[in-house]
Chains A and B, each alone.
Chain A
Amino acid sequence: MEGEMPHAGCLSPAPTPISPLALIELQDHLLAAGHDLSRLATLLDDACRQLLLHFDAATVQVRALSTDDLAGRERACAEIGKAVTGLQFQDLSSQLVTHACDRLRYCADRLATAAFGSDDDAEDVVAAAPSRPNPVTQSEMDAGSVELF
């Protein structure tokens, strides 16, 4: 159309190529971030398992208490049950971390390919991009839905 404004992208300066050294530095940062996330997942897993062992022991202790206060025992067990629901944050976060690590690894491999070029052998070691969105859509720790077919 006559008089139409040019697309904003047409006014942008041409992108500056990134040097191979800069690409390698970016790759290092991505890999380091991936390793940190993996360590975080390991720490969360260990903490969660330790807490569960204590909850297990606490449940045994509560059940061994006097039967004079059955209602109190049940309330204590219900509170431990709620803690178990909360502890599942570890499973959700672990899946999120794994998915994020896969994406970081893919980006790092793409940068390496851009820096060094690719050949048939290199293609084999480039991580595949995650093929689907992250399955974890929860943003809070309320108990999930139940559907019987």
Chain B
Amino acid sequence: MSSILAVDDSASMRQMVSFTLKNAGYDVVDAIDGVDALHKAGERKFDLVLTDQNMPNLDGIGLTRKLRESAAFKATPILILTTESSDQMKQAGRAAGATGWLVKPFDPAKLIEVIGKVLR
């Protein structure tokens, strides 16, 4: 079973993402912001990171940059799931090392399809 670190400062979004991913058979660990995610990523390896962008303490792009500095997460797919849809933000995400950019609201079936694709 692939493991996913799901990061969002909104409790309801964490609940929705977990609901979707667990129903698709993934092992899901939640984090409430980038700092919490870094802490959890330091404890174990994940097959994929799905993170929000706008969060207190450390945002999704900052988290991506930090994770890419770690050998354990150099090649791990990192998807940013956010309300932000500007090209400028997408390019910043890409430059930080993100694998993809998904704009909210997400369609559960599409999210599962994309995750399956990047995990292959």
Chain A residues within CB distance 8 Å of chain B: 45, 48-49, 52, 55-56, 59, 77-78, 81-82, 84-92, 94-95, 135-138, 141-149
Contact = CB atoms under 8 A, between A and B. Distances in A.
Nearest to A94: B10
B107 A143 contact: yes
A59 B24 CA distance: 12
B74 to A, nearest CB: 15
Nearest to B101: A147
A146 B105 contact: no
Leading 3 A-B pairs by shortest Cβ distance: A144-B103, A88-B105, A143-B107
Contacts of A95: 54, 83
A138 B103 CA distance: 10
B15 to A, nearest CB: 5
The secondary structure that dominates the A interface is helix
Contacts of B103: 138, 144-146
B84 interface: yes
A45 B8 CA distance: 14
19 contacts: A49-B15, A52-B12, A52-B15, A56-B19, A59-B19, A84-B108, A88-B16, A90-B10, A90-B12, A91-B13, A91-B104, A92-B83, A138-B105, A145-B103, A146-B101, A146-B103, A146-B110, A148-B114, A149-B93
Contacts of A84: 16, 19-20, 108
B93 to A, nearest CB: 8
B98 interface: yes
B11 interface: yes
A118 B47 CA distance: 54
A81 B108 contact: yes
Given A144-B85, A149-B100, A91 B10 contact: yes
